Amino acid sequence: MSKVKIGLVQTTCSANKAENLAKAIVKIREAAAKGAQIVCLQELFTSLYFCDVEDYDNFQLAEPIPGDSTNALSKVAAELNVVIIASLFEKRAQGLYHNTTAVLDADGTYLGKYRKMHIPDDPAYYEKFYFTPGDLGYKTFKTKYATLGVLICWDQWYPEAARITSLMGAEILFYPTAIGWATSQDEATNTEQYNAWQTIQRSHAVANGVHVVSVNRVGLEQNGAMKFWGGSFVSNPFGSLLYKASHDAEEVAVVEIDTTATDRYRTHWPFMRDRRIDSYQPVTKRYIDED
């Protein structure tokens, strides 16, 4: 299919895991009722963003993938004939955890998962305490409606991840996300940070000639110290915004995209043709020191 309707679900979350899953299902139904064929949920949607602290009790939030959440969502996907992209806290084994996104096809089939490759460690984002870096590599998923590439939040800042996933045949790049502003921060800094976040992802769309869909959570968390900035968006292969959500409200949006645009943009702006792959070996070094 060339024209595909994408559903973005931008919501607040609570401390109740079952409540968050039920809410997500309601929102998926709302997106499907608006015509969505692929629905993307935000990062770690079944809980509050718990990585603001290093607390061993938070490991109780993790679950196997596939598991209870993917089983519940699989039934919804089959019922509504929609693809679901679901970001979850994966318990792989005792003491081994990942930040993982599962992809469920429109007939409910579990297609597989992508484990977040780039793991941040910043004040209020202590993800290295919880998550082992992904070991599945970059992934694409051939769904009923399109071939998807899925990356997760901090992966957004790395052009290498977007490039490799695109080279694997992804027609659309999806980024489930949880990012926000400290409420003590000034408005100018907030604006600068959001613009950088959006710009880097739009640049992935341009460099690779694909649509980019970024879905972020919204609302106050961490006892009011963190405002997740929403601002979910869809970019076309030239970096133009087809949709942008608000910074403070829950939204369920459906945006139609045409994946055949990739061919047009890549033909007229042939970045893929002109790549000098013979010259890129230095990028595999941590830093290029002088001899």
Residue linked to tokens 């993938």: 65
Q: Which among 43, 90, 127, 171 is annotated as catalytic?
A: 43
Q: Is 153 a catalytic residue?
A: yes
Return the number of other C-beta atoms located less than 10 Å from residue 18's C-beta. 12
Q: Is 256 a catalytic residue?
A: no
Q: Is 116 a catalytic residue?
A: yes
Q: Which among 153, 171, 221, 227 is annotated as catalytic?
A: 153
Q: Which among 91, 113, 116, 227 is annotated as catalytic?
A: 116
The letter for the amino acid at 79 is: E
User: Could you tell me which residues come within 8 angstroms of residue 49 by beta carbon, excluding any fewer than 6 positions away?
Assistant: 13, 43, 178, 180, 217, 221, 222, 226, 228
Considering only CA atoms, which of 199, 215, 197 is closest in space to residue 207? Answer: 199
Q: Are the C-beta atoms of residues 81 and 31 closer than 8 Å to each other?
A: no
Considering only CA atoms, which of 198, 194, 197, 155 is closest in space to residue 176? Answer: 155
Distance, CA of 210 to CA of 157 (rounded, Å): 16
Distance, CA of 204 to CA of 237 (rounded, Å): 9
Long-range CB contacts (within 8 A, 24+) of 157-165: 157/118, 157/200, 158/117, 158/118, 159/200, 159/203, 159/204, 159/207, 160/283, 161/117, 161/118, 162/204, 162/207, 162/208, 162/212, 163/204, 163/207, 163/208, 164/138, 165/138, 165/139, 165/140
Return the active site residues: 43, 116, 153
